[in-house]
A and B are shown apart, each in its own frame.
Chain A
Amino acid sequence: GAGVSQSPRYKVAKRGQDVALRCDPISGHVSLFWYQQALGQGPEFLTYFQNEAQLDKSGLPSDRFFAERPEGSVSTLKIQRTQQEDSAVYLCASSPKGAGGSDTQYFGPGTRLTVL
């Protein structure tokens, strides 16, 4: 079956623009994670959903970042008034079970955001 997909794969935005990044998890997966990865660094956790519930958003760097998963499947990460420091690869991952399970995470290819 299809894996986790993300769109767009590449996004160039001018400073101050709003962007929306989409994640299509594997069908039926309960958990969904968003990460931000700067060049040469490990992925930094942003937020976590269990179905449609956002259980952890402690990693969102500012109130300009907003994520939703309204129907418990597709998720969107929105960044308002983008800044140059938002330039990074944004990774999405899903897993079959909810939090606390010993679960394999399946990652998408990421969206590379460049803010000029």
Chain B
Amino acid sequence: SQQGEEDPQALSIQEGENATMNCSYKTSINNLQWYRQNSGRGLVHLILIRSNEREKHSGRLRVTLDTSKKSSSLLITASRAADTASYFCAINNDMRFGAGTRLTVKP
């Protein structure tokens, strides 16, 4: 099994700005998933990108995958205070998580 490692560990931005966080991994993958966790809650699935995909969109979310660099990025556009949460990536179906990126969006 393997886990993704998210960076940065923490990110603080103003409402309306874009937020980018990254996930790196070490071996080949079939898919990569991003999850969000609001304080005191369980994780919520955001988006899944497969190894043969390079980019995927869902609302204000944009995920890219670069298998040659073994990395993925999650972009949140026009951020809102409600986007304040921790964001995690998971590799394949292994469901091992890194420490996450703690995003704070200031109103």
Bound-complex Cα distance A42 to B99 (A)? 4
Cβ contact within 8 Å between A93 and B98: no
Measured as residues with beta carbon below 8 angstroms from the partner, the interface class of chain B is 20 to 34
Within 8 Å of chain B (Cβ to Cβ): is A7? no
Complex contacts, B33 vs chain A, CB 8 Å: 104-105
A54 CB to nearest B CB, Å: 15
Asked if A42 and B93 sit within 8 Å, CB to CB, the answer is no
Contacts of A109 in B (CB 8 A): 41-42
Inter-chain contact A91/B88, CB cutoff 8 Å: no
Of A41, A45, A100, A108, which is within 8 A of B95 by CB? A45
Q: Which residues on B are within 8 Å of A, measured CB to CB?
A: 1, 30-31, 33, 35, 41-45, 48, 50, 86, 88, 90, 92-93, 95-100
